[in-house]
Amino acid sequence: MSIYSELKRRNVFRVAAGYVVLSWVLLQVADVLMDTIGLPDVWGKAVLGLLVIGFPPVLIFSWIYEMTPEGIKREKEIAADASITSHTAKKLNITVIVLLVIAIGIFAIDKFTGTPVTSSEPVAVTAPSADAVPVVAVLPLQAFSTEEEGIFLASGLHDDLLTRLARLQSFKVISRTSVMEYADTTKNLREIGAELGASYILEGGLQAIGGNVRINAQLIDATTDEHLWAQTYNRALTTANLFDVQADIAGAIAGALHATLSPQELEQLSDVPTENLKAYEAFLRGHDLQGALTMPGLHGAVAAQREATELDPEFGEAWAALSTALIRQYWEEGAEDGASPNEALVAESKHALERAQQLDPDTASTFVAESYFHYYGFRDYSSALIALGGADAIAPNDVRVISTRGYLLRRLGRLSESSDALLRAMELNPNGPSLHRETIDTLRGAGRCEEVRALIADSLRRFPDDDGINAVVAYAITACDRDTKAAVEYALKVDVSTLQHLQGVTRLLIFDRRYETAIEKLKGARDSWVQRPTVRLVIDNYLTWLYRETGQPALAEQAVQSARNNAEQISDNGLTSLVQLMMLEALQGNADETRKFGRQAMAAMPDDAWRNTDFMYQIGKTYALAGLADESFSVLEGIRYDHSYDTLSRMYLDPLVDNLRDDPRFQQILDNGEAEVAAALSAVRKETS
């Protein structure tokens, strides 16, 4: 008998076929389990390895042994007429057929129930109507890796994916700030969709191990829980592969939502800004650090983007990010207040911007960097707005672009346009406390009090314990309702650990004549976090006035002496410093010195409608404190109260201008201010009707 016939008689071929089919089924099951419970790729490789190793022993076993009614026996121990290999063959045939049916079923489910990955062509021809643009929330990618690299990559890739998706016009994307709170959430997708105002949710995970990356993603209809698309990507860990996956995901979302990606959008998505993985990782790290907008965060962002540009000098997006981080550092370190800023940061920011413009002149990132350079480097808000227009044309649904437009319009005194832009930004960032605060502030300044009250209710529901929210609620109640008692209830919840909060809370306590409480707040701040001499001067000036009002002359004199000591340590000519030096002279009754610092402060006033109203009011009331009524009215009459409705409300409540109230000019200012605000609100109503 030939070897072939003997192999066939002993069922070796049937065992081999059954083993192969069974192995394929086991590999598919292992793949599903790894996606479901987040096992690393090494498990799949281990299963395949074991199956390969097991194949030769199984064949050898089927050659040497035979199944008999008495159990397994060696083939050579069985007489030829006692062999039942033909009966065993029938059982093996049935087993192989059953396994083939299972394998075909698994293949059919995988083939026909998921939407395939999109191609590079537009995925549909029907675009949504302009008034029904779908809204998508991309939840944080779950990091299946326990290694730090995989965890960081999941966070960074999520951030970058959101940035790229926000540049598409076919749908809107909820901002990263709003979706981050849903990492590891127990809420179901319908709840998340309702809270974010999103009809569709993309969720997924990432695992990076051994130079490879595995990304799975699925798009779900948040109203019906229907799975619209799902895909798993197993790729080598390279930047080209990461950007390719992002492009596939964007195309798949567009396809599922029956949207069309333009050729320009497809080109943006397929662009690989760097092939240097380490440079890309540094860029992602810097982007994440800058989002915190703290000084340590900005310093870290600058260092990370410098590293990215050193690793890949042709990485245009990193140069744009470096320019932005540097100019924000310049602003936060003193430029906002005109207090001896570091001009070297401007020079480096300019160089980085020029490199970005050389490498990527027509990208949203470069246009945003140019806008920020004008904004934070030179307070040139008009030029910043023009530059931002380039980004808006490319990324109309990018919340950063929309909100920056709102802030620029506010600086230009166009408060209602600013309010509308920020309200639009809130649609894409409903869970961002900073955006809530800024929008309440802007609506309050515009006198749009009905909208302020509605937004206050939503903000307090979302962020009941946020210091900034409680602070702006207090200020808004003061401005819109002039109810100081209700305002103080919220103000007392605020941790006065910044100069802005300290001044705001103290001012409200003074409006409500709660002088002793104001004193305690000021003393507590001075004894804890205050270090800058300008901030200590603010505290001592307030304490001097409060001690006098409460009949404590000895303590008032101590506060004045402390204020003089702090004034001697101030070396900058920032607006805050000049106004506080002016107030110190006013408290001491030095009229000429009060006028001198008042003139210097007015001359230092930048062309900034949003900040100037507050500083002008501080200068005007300081003249009043010094008994210089004519100078006070000259400044107060020059304020545009339709740029700052809350400044008008202060005049009704502030005891520091009590000595002006009997002058007819005071009432005239109030009447004119109310008329300005009413006219501005009337114009807004006409535009929206």
Structural domain spans, the chain:
3-112, 135-270, 277-489, 499-688
Specify the pLDDT at position 90.
65
% the chain with pLDDT above 90: 51
% the chain with pLDDT above 70? 81
Mean pLDDT over 197-210 rounds to 87
Do 372 and 387 form a contact (C-beta atoms < 8 A)?
A: no
DSSP string, 429-486: -TT-HHHHHHHHHHHHHHT-HHHHHHHHHHHHHH-TT-HHHHHHHHHHHHHHH--HHH
Q: How confident is the model at residue 114 (pLDDT cuts 50, 70, 90)?
A: very low
pLDDT at 270 over 80: no
Q: 135-270, which class in CATH?
A: alpha beta
Average pLDDT estimate for 163-174: 84
Tell me yes or no: is domain 499-688 CATH 1.10.3470.
no
Q: Is 146 exposed, middle or buried, given 0-12, 13-18 or 19+ CB atoms closer than 10 A? A: exposed
**253 vs 47, residue with greater confidence:** 253
pLDDT tens digits for range 492-508 = 999 888 888 899 999 99
Question: What are the tens digits of pLDDT across the range 33-67?
Answer: 555 444 555 566 666 677 677 778 866 766 666 66
Task: Point out which residues pair with 611 in neighbouring strands.
Answer: none
Region 348-356: mean pLDDT is 97
Task: Quote the pLDDT of residue 68.
Answer: 59
Give the residue, 628 or 531, on which the prediction is more confident.
Answer: 628
CA nearest to 566, candidates 529, 536, 586: 536
Least confident of 72-76, 291-295, 458-462, 470-474: 72-76
* Structural contact between residues 246 and 160, judged by C-beta atoms closer than 8 angstroms: yes
The rounded Cα 260 to chain-centroid distance in angstroms is 27
Question: Which class is domain 277-489?
Answer: mainly alpha
Beta-bridged to residue 214, according to DSSP, are 207, 234
The rounded distance, in Å, linking the Cα atoms of 236 and 209 is: 10
Higher pLDDT, 77 or 265: 265
Predicted pLDDT of residue 225: 87
The distance from CA 332 to its chain's CA centroid, rounded to whole angstroms, is: 19
Q: How confident is the model at residue 119 (pLDDT cuts 50, 70, 90)?
A: very low
Q: What's the rounded mean pLDDT across residues 297-303?
A: 91
* Residues 610, 643: Cα–Cα separation, whole Å: 7
- 464 pLDDT above the threshold of 90: yes
pLDDT in tens, 518-553: 999 999 887 777 788 999 999 999 999 999 999 999
Section 375-400 average pLDDT? 92
- For the cut 70, the answer to whether the pLDDT of residue 517 exceeds it is yes
The reply to whether domains 277-489 and 499-688 share a CATH topology is yes
**What is the C-alpha separation between 227 and 230, in angstroms, rounded?**
7
Return the pLDDT at 128: 36
Residue-level pLDDT at 658: 96
According to the model, what pLDDT value does residue 116 have? 38
Please report the pLDDT score of residue 264 as a whole number.
78
Provide the pLDDT confidence category of residue 106 given band limits of 50, 70 and 90.
Answer: low
Checking if the pLDDT of 491 tops 90, the result is: yes
Q: What is the pLDDT of residue 120?
A: 35
Residue bearing the bigger pLDDT, 475 or 143: 475
| pLDDT value of position 117 | 37
pLDDT band at 295 (very low <50, low <70, confident <90, very high): confident
Select the highest-mean-pLDDT range: 16-30, 50-64, 558-572.
558-572
- H-run or E-run covering 218: strand 212-221
pLDDT at 273: 86
Mean of the per-residue pLDDT values of the chain: 84
Q: Is the pLDDT of residue 349 over 60?
A: yes
Lowest mean pLDDT among 167-171, 229-233, 583-587: 167-171
Q: What's the pLDDT at 113?
A: 44
- The contacts found for 435-443 with CB under 8 angstroms, 24 or more apart, are 435/177, 435/403, 436/462, 436/463, 436/469, 436/472, 437/468, 437/469, 437/471, 437/472, 438/403, 438/406, 438/407, 440/472, 440/473, 440/476, 441/472, 441/475, 441/476, 442/406, 442/410, 442/415, 442/418, 443/419
Cβ atoms of 260 and 122 within 8 Å: the answer is: yes
Is residue 400 scored above 70 in pLDDT?
Answer: yes
pLDDT of residue 589: 95
